[in-house]
Amino acid sequence: MPLTAPWSELNLPVQDGAAVWASSPAQFKAQHKGDRRAVLAAYVEAFKRQGWSLLKLDQSRSNWYVDLAKGAAKIQIELYDFKKTGVIIQKL
């Protein structure tokens, strides 16, 4: 599935080993072959390069959650077990 705005403008790490299966203005979903820690680092780095700041990282549950902000905009990245690593990004 092709990336749509705003995700297409963020240079997300989906070039190698990822399958994008949802992309709408409010939500993005993908499945990665990499392990959760590597996928998490790649996404956080992609957002930081675009000026986003890390607000919160919660790895205490089975699903991991990362909250980021850029000005008034906020997003949450959720990482979970799904054919290695699943990712859901939602605007908050």
pLDDT of residue 61: 86
Q: What is the pTM of this model?
A: 0.91
Helix (H, G, I), strand (E, B) or coil at 43: helix
pLDDT in tens, 19-74: 999 999 999 999 999 899 999 999 999 999 999 999 999 998 899 999 999 999 99
d(C-alpha 30, C-alpha 20), whole Å: 4
DSSP label at residue 62: S
